[in-house]
Amino acid sequence: MNSLPLIDLLIVIAYLIAMVLVGLYFSRKNTTADQFTKASGNIPGWAIGISIYATFLSSNTFLGVPGKAYGSNWNSFVFSLSMPLAAWAATKYFIPFYRNSGEVSAYTHLEHRFGAWARTYAVVCFLLTQLARMGSIFFGIALSLQALTGYPMAMIMIVVGISIVVYTVMGGMEAVIWTEVVQGVINTIGALAILYLVVDSMTGGIPAIIDIGKDNDKFSLGTLSPDFVQSSFWVVLLYGFFMNLNNFGMDQNYVQRYHTTGSIKEAASSVWLCVYIYLPVSLLFFMLGSCLFAYYESNPALLEPIRMAAATERLPGGSPAAISQLASTLTAEDYGDKVMPHFMVTKVPVGLLGLIVAAIMSAAMSTISSGMNASATVFSVDIYQRYIQPDVTPKQSMKLLYIATTVFGLLGMLTGIAMIGVKSVLDIWWLLSGIFASGMLGLFLLGIISRNTRNTEALIATIIGIIIIVWMTFSPQLTDEYAYLRNPLHQNMIMVVGTLSIFLIGILLTRFKKTKEPVGEAVGEEI
């Protein structure tokens, strides 16, 4: 990291060492699987709320959101606007269900309702979602640090990944939560610092930023017309609602935290605290992207190294002439993710740069560490103890959790390396999460809402739903000869249509069998 000033380098190294020491401190308490996965239910609700907020505020937000706002507009902010409704559903129905069941895994209920296949399907979808999430975050952090250090992205992912693995394996869930509390604060301060520096560097200040943003339609939330082909307001709102319902309602990252508090009320309050904090902070990141656009629009000569870097990444090994020609054709959307790292390199003063790098690293580490812990828990409970060795001893259980946490951390790192070269880290995450999460959310809603749906109807609905998800995902790649078979909807609708397909087909099949009890009983009664 010799391109960073010494003081910034020392700050980054000190942060990494501090995270490892936190894991070492909490490792003394990790004598049981219950402590490792649930922190024995002793974490206060406010700390859980900030940790959930920190999980949302990953490097996908820190880098992907400003990059998205720079390249397009505020359309993706509608995702955040959907959070309150999803949080309401989760706190009213899902949290009481999980707390009363006592199951640390979010997917045990599916086996009780539909059989082992349902639980296994949901677990596989969850693990794939986590690999996509961790991979995109590893990629995001490497994208930023490469601009600061010049080191290869793969090398950066390996160094950061090893640090995350060490403190997560040693510290367990309690270390994850308390480090996320610190990381959430650091992330927010870092974003505010960058925003201040951008505005301060802008000739004309805030009025000029607003004028340039208006002239280029940077503050638009998307068209309000009922358009589901492009990324309209309604497409992002529907996607956001179903994805946030999946996050708050059945994602193991969050469900596991509900068990770490002392009561249902504390668990519910933690979700609302996350929403109250994340909504204004996510708006801050969109503002940051618009401010960066105004700054570079006013200083177009500064964009040349950014375009060249993006072109070089897309055309590795190309001649200077070919790279230069490609760079001249790139749009703001093509290099949006690289703008904020470039601003940091050129405008952030020594000392503060190290703190902001630590903030970006903490944004990545918080989400990756929680994903590792949750993935290891699901693998241990839903796969290993279910199919391989049900009667594991406490010692064997701890060893299994340590190994699984390490393996999933390394797999997430490899997934990030495989993503090198993608256009937008936020787009690739939204696409992959929608594909994997829609199936398990639809099945889960079917299981808790429709009391009369049984194994056969659920299985048929899931198979049909998977076929629909696969078609919507891959049909755009069909040749022009089969253009009529392409999915006409926006890719974010995969999450919406996939979820509703499984749920509604299951309901229709249940009605078709003319069950004696009415379908669609109130969720509260079913739970």
Instruction: Supply 140's token pair.
Output: 């995001």
pLDDT tens-digit profile of 198-247?
A: 999 898 889 999 999 999 999 999 999 989 999 899 999 999 999 899 88
Q: How much of the chain is in helix, strand and coil states, percent to nearest 5? A: 80, 0, 20
Q: What is the pLDDT of residue 29?
A: 63
Tokens 């909807």 -> residue: 489
Q: How confident is the model at residue 289 (pLDDT cuts 50, 70, 90)?
A: very high
Crossing angle for the helix pair 455-474 and 425-449, to the nearest 10 degrees: 160
The predicted model gives 71-77 an average pLDDT of 91
For residue 340, pLDDT beyond 50: yes
What does the buried/exposed string (b/e) look like for 60-88 if buried means 16 or more CB atoms within 10 Å of the residue's CB? bbbbbbbbbbbbbbbbbbbbbbbbeebbb
Report the percent of the chain where pLDDT is more than 70.
87
Q: What is the pLDDT of residue 1?
A: 37
One-letter amino acid identity for 234? W
Q: Which domains are delineated in the chain?
A: 6-26+40-419 (1.20.1730.10), 427-527 (no CATH)
Q: How confident is the model at residue 85 (pLDDT cuts 50, 70, 90)?
A: very high
The predicted model gives 291-300 an average pLDDT of 92
- Looking at per-residue confidence, does 490 or 451 come out higher? 490
- Looking at per-residue confidence, does 345 or 205 come out higher? 205
The predicted model gives 363-384 an average pLDDT of 80
Task: Give the number of other Cβ atoms within 10 Å of residue 504's Cβ.
Answer: 15
Ranges 170-179, 248-257, 443-452: which has the least confidence: 170-179
| Cβ pair 1, 149 in contact under 8 A | yes
Give the SS3 label for residue 513.
coil
- The CA-based angle 233-235-236, given to 5 degrees, is 70
- Looking at per-residue confidence, does 16 or 410 come out higher? 410
Q: How confident is the model at residue 164 (pLDDT cuts 50, 70, 90)?
A: confident
- The CA-based angle 171-177-180, given to 5 degrees, is 110
The predicted model gives 383-401 an average pLDDT of 84
pLDDT tens-digit profile of 135-163?
A: 888 887 787 777 677 778 888 888 888 87
Q: How confident is the model at residue 288 (pLDDT cuts 50, 70, 90)?
A: very high
Q: What is the pLDDT of residue 312?
A: 83
Tokens 């990381």 -> residue: 183
| Mean of the per-residue pLDDT values of the chain | 82
CA separation for the pair 147, 66 (Å, rounded): 16
User: Across 376-485, where does the E strand assignment appear?
Assistant: none
Q: What is the pLDDT of residue 78?
A: 95
> Dihedral (C-alpha) 433, 495, 68, 199: value to the nearest 10 degrees?
-90
Report the percent of the chain where pLDDT is more than 90.
20
| Cβ pair 361, 56 in contact under 8 A | no
Cβ-based burial of 388 (10 A; exposed 0-12, middle 13-18, buried ≥19): exposed
For residue 60, pLDDT beyond 90: no
Q: How confident is the model at residue 28 (pLDDT cuts 50, 70, 90)?
A: low
For residue 456, pLDDT beyond 50: yes
pLDDT tens-digit profile of 465-520?
A: 999 988 988 888 888 888 888 989 998 898 899 999 999 999 999 988 765 555 44
Q: What pTM was estimated for this model as a whole?
A: 0.79
CA separation for the pair 74, 77 (Å, rounded): 5
CA separation for the pair 399, 205 (Å, rounded): 56
Crossing angle for the helix pair 45-56 and 352-378, to the nearest 10 degrees: 100
For residue 447, pLDDT beyond 90: no
For residue 464, pLDDT beyond 70: yes
For residue 521, pLDDT beyond 50: no
Nearest to 440 by CA among 365, 513, 503, 346: 503
What does the buried/exposed string (b/e) look like for 221-255 if buried means 16 or more CB atoms within 10 Å of the residue's CB? bbeeeeebeebbbbbbbbbbbbbbbbbbbbbbbbb
Cα torsion 86, 90, 92, 93: sign? positive
